[in-house]
Structure 1
Amino acid sequence: MSVSLWSEETSEVLRGPGVCRKRVVEGLLQLEEKYLPSPLYITLIQRDPDTREALAKWTLEVCREHRCAESVFLLAVSLLDRYLSTSLSLPVSPTCLTAACILIASKLIGNKAVSPGYLSKAANSNFLPGHLLDMESIVLATLRWDVATVTASDFLPHFLSALSENEDGQRTGHTEGFLSSVRSLSDTLVALCVCDAHLLGTPPSLVAAAALSSACRALGNKAPEMDTITTLLAGLCQTEKVVVQYYSELIDSISTERLRSREKQVWDLDGDKQDEEVKDDRAGTPTDLREIQF
């Protein structure tokens, strides 16, 4: 009896890149469930989100100042959530814990790791570099050195690839410029999602799909085309189209609220400056008419 060395899978792979993409995404979907935080941790954080949101925003600031890849920020916050989900308590220095997560993520992904000294200065020397290295060891031990967490940045390239070409490898009508703009806006929306406690515990695949859908809609895609994109993303995530639509609209709502909040802060600052100018003008008004220059 002759034995064939021709694998049955090979014929499927040769059908087109869409099959390979689907296999990779399926593998990521199986892995992402392993790294989701516990329901108890999610409940506790959503009751009091301020500290966690502040730490996530500080992580984003440090990563952007150091020009880290977007994936470094996402991995750092994921490590932070996983550690807190396991311990359910903050250490004496929450900033030191956050810096340790940034250090680990930059070593694992980045071309150049963020130095302990840089992180100490970024935290206004709230901890020493030696203490940061000790905290790094604690985080690694708590997570049992399993730090290769699946994040939304792992899904985005595959989702974008699905938008740029079909399963047969043929190019779609989307231009390179459009896809580049979609990726940039998607990265921004994903970062917004990671910092917001309302979306804590949402699978990274769903965050990536919803952010991508929201970005496409923001860049002017029409309703019929958006329906096709949402259906495609839902299929890749192995979920219903309405789920992707729900989270996409939630992202729109969160981003709109953040913009309003920022505009209000700017308006309040401008108002304070005007009040100070009025006070200064009143204080400097000469009481002697001879001092007035007409």
Structure 2
Amino acid sequence: MEKLLCCDKKVDKNTCVSSPEPLLNSRRVLQNLLQLEDRYYLASSYFVCLQSDIKPYMREKVTEWMWEVCEGEHCQQDVFPLAVNCMDRFLSVVKLKRSQLQLLGTVCLFLASKLRQVVPLMGRKLCQYTDNSVTQEELLSWELLVLSRLKWDISAVIPNDFLEPLLYRLLLSEGARTKARQHAEVFINMCCTEFKFSMYPPSMVAAASVGAAVQGLHRLNKELWESSRELLTRLHLITGIEIDCLRHCLEQIEEMIAADITPTQTSPMVSLNGNGSNNNKMADSSGLKPADSKPETPTDVQDVHF
């Protein structure tokens, strides 16, 4: 039996971190994740086969709102992707009205924070983020509904679960690994707002996000990789995902990044309450906001004219 070690680190109240080194070198851990992930991503589009009142752009607005709530509450990085995963899986089995979509997103944030944080999000605070369009009674009753329809299986495999094993096996320095992880986490969050990535295996989204982060940070450091294909080949050997599939996913992520970093004065984001916003996903998630600014969390997705 492999020996497991846990070295505690000093962290804030919402974080529980241990030294993962003994586990990262274990092929069994990565293999288990790869075997389990098939349960937790969509095989088909629920917009085609089930949902008629909800459209993809509505999902995008709600997921962006969920991301901003997580930023405003300083949630752990894996709370938002897990919440979106739960929301997508629920929408694949239960037909909803558009007026119920923010309620579902709120409930999924509530559940994900209970699973991935030491201190979960408070129900009362989440209701306030919806401008009290969601009541605490609705939150609790829908919590049971979501759990029952997901068969209480909310401990899903998400892209974030693959980051450490991938970065460890790419033989990056500690400093480079930290920077690559931070950028990859942002890319994963961005992927969560795009529905098409919900139908990709979490390992593929993680590997492509890591590839995009490494390429962006190191411009293919010649000491490690001579070409983009060599990096993709390394990721293929780690995950078993075909190189062409990895390249296609990576290119889609890079296109999404390029579209997001266009000047805000020419393409401002519109907040869910209908007001113009200069929030830029890359800037906000990379810690580039002014130190004294407050999170500009939209309050009511139902204000948008769908």
**Residue identity matched to 1:57:** E
Cα shift at 1:143: 0.7
**Residue identity matched to 1:207:** V
The verdict on how the C-alpha distance between 1:112 and 1:267 changes in structure 2, with shifts beyond 3 A counting, is closer
Bigger mean CA offset, 183-192 vs 196-205: 196-205
| Distance (whole Å) between structure 2 residues aligned to residue 57 and residue 216 of structure 1 | 25
| Distance (whole Å) between structure 1 residues aligned to residue 47 and residue 199 of structure 2 | 7
What do residues 232-283 of structure 1 show as CA deviations (whole Å, max 9, x unaligned)? 21122212222212211110011111222745235998xxxxxxxxxxxxxx
User: Which among 58, 77, 80 is matched to residue 51 of structure 1?
Assistant: 58
What do residues 167-204 of structure 1 show as CA deviations (whole Å, max 9, x unaligned)? xxxxxxx3322111111110011111111123221111
The verdict on how the C-alpha distance between 1:232 and 1:266 changes in structure 2, with shifts beyond 3 A counting, is same
Q: Is the 8 A contact 1:91 1:97 kept in 2?
A: no
| Distance (whole Å) between structure 1 residues aligned to residue 269 and residue 144 of structure 2 | 45
- Residue 241 of structure 2 corresponds to 239
Q: Is the 8 A contact 1:38 1:85 kept in 2?
A: no
How many residues are matched? Answer: 249
Identity of aligned residues (%): 27
The verdict on how the C-alpha distance between 1:235 and 1:267 changes in structure 2, with shifts beyond 3 A counting, is closer
**Residue identity matched to 1:198:** K
- Residue 282 of structure 1 corresponds to none
Q: Is the 8 A contact 1:213 1:248 kept in 2?
A: yes
- Residue 26 of structure 1 corresponds to 31
| 1:189-268 alignment runs, 5 A limit | 189-222=187-220, 224=226, 226-260=228-262, 262-266=264-268
| Distance (whole Å) between structure 1 residues aligned to residue 125 and residue 25 of structure 2 | 41
Q: Is the 8 A contact 1:63 1:72 kept in 2?
A: yes
Q: Whose radius of gyration is greater, 1 or 2?
A: 1
**Residue identity matched to 2:143:** E
- Residue 70 of structure 1 corresponds to 77
Secondary structure of 1:181's counterpart equals helix
Q: Is the 8 A contact 2:103 2:134 kept in 1?
A: yes
The verdict on how the C-alpha distance between 1:246 and 1:96 changes in structure 2, with shifts beyond 3 A counting, is same
Cα shift at 1:122: 0.4
**Residue identity matched to 2:197:** L
| Distance (whole Å) between structure 1 residues aligned to residue 119 and residue 227 of structure 2 | 40
Cα shift at 1:26: 1.5
**Residue identity matched to 1:32:** E
The verdict on how the C-alpha distance between 1:217 and 1:141 changes in structure 2, with shifts beyond 3 A counting, is same
The verdict on how the C-alpha distance between 1:213 and 1:80 changes in structure 2, with shifts beyond 3 A counting, is same
Q: Is the 8 A contact 2:24 2:168 kept in 1?
A: no
Q: Is the 8 A contact 2:47 2:56 kept in 1?
A: no
| Match status 1:162 vs 2:169 | yes
Secondary structure of 2:92's counterpart equals helix
The verdict on how the C-alpha distance between 1:261 and 1:26 changes in structure 2, with shifts beyond 3 A counting, is farther
Structure 2 spans left out of the alignment, 5+ residues: 4-20, 271-275, 277-306
**Residue identity matched to 2:84:** V
- Residue 108 of structure 2 corresponds to 101
| Match status 1:115 vs 2:117 | no
- Residue 142 of structure 2 corresponds to 135
Q: Is the 8 A contact 1:73 1:105 kept in 2?
A: yes
Cα shift at 1:225: 5.2
Q: Is the 8 A contact 2:85 2:198 kept in 1?
A: no
| Distance (whole Å) between structure 2 residues aligned to residue 90 and residue 149 of structure 1 | 25
Bigger mean CA offset, 227-236 vs 19-28: 19-28
- Residue 169 of structure 1 corresponds to none
